[in-house]
Structure 1
C-alpha cells in the first residue's frame, strides 16, 4: 500500500536539519554560490598538473562548436595526428562537415529501414517508440565513422569547410527529425496497406532525395573530386590534383580500419568480460561496418591504451565527461568536488550500478594523447578535447586515473596489442546482441 508523507515526518526532518550547525553553515554557502562552487576541491587541480611521462605531439585543438560531433572530431583527430607527422604539416584538419553530411544521409536511410522492419509492431512497442523518440542525432560511435570512411572516404577541411549548420546543428536536427517522423507515418501506412515492395522502395527513394536536398542546402554538397595543395613546415609546396575522397584517404591516412576494435569496460552482470557485443538498431550505413565491442576488465583496458600510446599512436576514447569534471580548468578527477561532505549525503555508486540504473553512460568522445606512469602504473592521462582552446590547457584536459576507472567506457585499439587469447575471441566473432537502449549503445 502506498504511503503519503505526513506532516509529522516533515516536522521531524525540519528539526533534524535546524539542529545541525554544519547544515546551517553549508546552507548559506550553497545558496549563495551553488553546489559545485561550494564544494570545489583545489587539491584535484594540484594533483593533476598537465605534465606526463608519455606525451604525444598532436598540435592545436579543434572545436566542434555547438554540435554533437565529438565522436567524429575525435576519430578524425587520430588520423590528422599521423598526417601532421608524416607529411610535416602543422595544425592540419580533416573535414568534419564532409563526414557529417554522409553520416546524416546514411542515418536517414538506416531509420527508414528500421521503420519498415518494425512497421507491423504497434506504436506503443518499445522499439518503435525508441526509433521515433530521436530518429537521428549528431552523436555516434567509432565503428559508425569507420563505416562512413570506408564507403565515402575523407577530405581536407579546406575542401569542405564548416557551414553555419554543421557548427550549430540544432535547427538542422529539428527539421531533419520532423521530416523523418513524417516519412515514418507514410512508410508504416504503406506496410499496413500491404503495398508491394517496388512501390515502397520508390517512395523511400523520393524521401532520400529530399534528405539529400536538405543536407546539401544546409551543409553544402560533398565534392566528388578535388585538388589539394599545401606548404609543409619547411615551406616546401605540394600539390595534388584530381583526388577523390577515397584516394585521399589511401594516400594521406592509409590505415586499415578493420584492424581496430572498440574495447569497452562495462562491469555489469549482463556483460561478462572477454566477450563481444553489438547493439540492436545501432548504426548508420546499411551493409557497412557494424558496431562491435570487446568487454574487458579495467586493468586490461588501461594496459591496451598504454601500449598504443607507447607506440606513439593516440587513442580514441569515450567517457561520461560531465561527471566530477571542472570544464574551465580541464580537470576530470573523482575528487574534483567534495559534494558528499558538503551536503552530508552519500551519492556514491559503483560503476556497474551507475550503468544499470541510468546514472551514467558514454556522453562524449575525446582522444588520449599522453599518460603519466609511476613505477609502470598510470596516475593521470592527457586528453585532447574538441571544445577549442579556451578550456583546459589550450584545449587539453587532464584525467586522473581514478576518474578513468569510474567514468571511461570505451577505447579504440589496434588488434595487434590484444593478447593472443583476446585475439582468438575476436577471430571467433561470437557476438551477443544487446537491446537498443543498452547503455553501451549510447552515442557520444
Structure 2
C-alpha cells in the first residue's frame, strides 16, 4: 500500500509563470545569454576565456614514451579495454623497440561478449534460486541492460589470464566492433528471452544437469551471433614486425595466451596491478573492501573487489607511478566540467553562473553526487604525466591519454587538474610495489556486498 501524504502540491499558476517571465526579461544578461545559447553550444558559451588562457599542456614528470598511434574506440563502450591495452603496450613497445603498435581491442571484446553473456545466464539461475521476483528491483535492474560494452579492471584481468592478447593486425576491427549498438540490441533481446526460459525451468523444478544443458545451447546461439558480427579469433597466429632499426622479426604459430605469458607478461603483469577506489559516502568506510552483487564477466573468475581509500592516497600513488615511468589506468566521470574541444577536465573551465546565474554540479559534494545519481564512473583512460608543485610537492595537473582519436581533445590528450581529480576520479590501477602493506591488507578482508544498482557498480564505457 502506498503511503498517503498530506503535502499540498503547488501547481504552476498563471500568476507564478507570469512572474517568472517578467523577471527573466527584466534582466538584460538573460536576453544576451538566450541569444548566445540559441546559436551556439551551451558549453561553448559557458567556457571561461580566463581559464583557457592560463592552461599549459606541459608537465614536470612524464612517462618515457608516447605510444603510437592514438587509439579510437569509435561508437563503442570499450574504453576500459582500450585504456588497459594502451597502458600495456608502453613497456612492450619499449622492449621490442617499436615505432607503432596496438594490441587487438576486438580480441578481448570478443571474449568479453561471450563470457559476459554466460555470466549473465548463470546469474539468472542464481537470482531465481534466491527467490528474487521477476518484478523485484534486482531482476528488473538486470533486465534493463543484460549485456553491456563497459567494464572494470578485474574483468580485464579475468579475460587476459584466460585468453591472453594478440596484435591488432591479427584480429582487426569490424563494423560491429566499432559501432556496437546493433549487435548489443540483438544480444539483449536474446538474453531477455533466455531469462524467461531459465526462470521457467527453475519454476518447473528442472535438474542442474538440464539447466546446464539449456545454458550451453543458449550460449551456442550467442557464440554464433557474436562470431558473425565480430569474427572469430584464430587459435594461433604469426606476428611479423620491424623495429625502429628496420630489423625484421617473426613470432610464429603462437597462441594468444602464450603470446601474453612469454612476450607481454615479463614487461606488464596484470596480476601485479591492483585497483584502488575512492568512495566518500558516509556508508562506505575507507580502508574497507567492497564488492557489487551480480557484477562480473567470467564464471569462476576473480571477484571484483573495491579497496576503498581516500582520494589523496590515489593521487599520491599515481604520481609515484608516473615518476617510475609507469602509466596508469583510471576510471572517472569524464563528462563533468569537461571541455571536449579543448581537452580540459577542470572545475573552472565552465562558468555556469555567469550564463545562468546558478552553478551546476559543484553545489553538491562528491558523496552527494553519488547518492543522488549525479555522478559515477563512466570512462576509463590513461594517465601518462603529472606536474608537481615545487613548494608543496603536491600534484597540480595530469596528462591523460584518451581513446577517442587524434581529432578530438588536444590531439587525443586531456589536461586534468588535481582539483578535478579529487571530485570526479573514482578508481586507479597501480603496481603493488607502490602500495603500502596496510592498504594491501584490505584485499584480505571479506568484502561488504553492495547492491547491483549501487553507483560503484557502474562500468567504464563512455563513447
Shorter chain as normaliser: what TM range? over 0.9
Contact kept, 8 Å, 1:70 with 1:386, in 2: the verdict is yes
Question: Aligned residues, how many?
Answer: 443
Shifted more, 39-48 versus 298-307: the winner is 39-48
For each residue in 1:62-100, what CA deviation from the matched residue of structure 2 results, as whole angstroms up to 9, or x when unmatched?
111111100000001111111111110122000111100
Distance 1:236 1:34, change over 3 A: closer
Aligned pairs for 1:6-405 within 5 A: 6-56=13-63, 57-60=65-68, 61-119=70-128, 120-254=131-265, 255-347=268-360, 348-375=363-390, 376-405=393-422
CA distance in 1, matches of 2:446, 2:434: 20
TM-score, normalization by structure 1: 0.97
* 1:34 shift after superposition: 4.0
Shift of 1:253: 1.6
1:201 offset after TM fit, Å? 1.1
Relative to structure 2, which stretch is displaced further, 305-314 or 192-201?
192-201
Are 2:288 and 2:307, in contact at CA under 8 Å, matched by a contact in 1?
yes
The answer (yes or no) to whether the contact 2:405–2:412 under 8 Å persists in 1 is yes
- Runs (5+) with no aligned partner, structure 2: 1-6
Retained in 2: the 8 A contact 1:261–1:292? no
TM-score by length of 2: 0.93
For structure 1, which runs of at least 5 residues remain unmatched after alignment? none
Task: Give the conservation status (yes or no) of the 8 Å contact 1:48–1:399.
Answer: no
Give the secondary-structure state (helix, strand or coil) at the position aligned to 1:154: coil
> d(CA) in 1 for partners of 2:26 and 2:413?
45
The structure 1 segments of at least 4 consecutive aligned residues displaced by more than 4 Å after TM superposition are none
State the partner residue of 1:435: 451
Q: Given that residues 67 and 89 in structure 2 are in contact (C-alpha distance below 8 angstroms), is that contact kept between their aligned partners in structure 1?
A: no
Q: How far is the alpha carbon of 1:414 from its aligned partner?
A: 1.4
Conserved 8 A contact 1:282-1:441: yes
CA apart distance, 1:10: 2.1
Are 2:441 and 1:424 aligned? yes
Partner of 2:3: none
Q: CA deviation at 1:3?
A: 2.7
Contact preservation (8 Å) 1:262, 1:293:
yes
Between the aligned partners of 1:346 and 1:393, the Cα distance in structure 2 is: 26
RMSD, aligned CA: 1.4
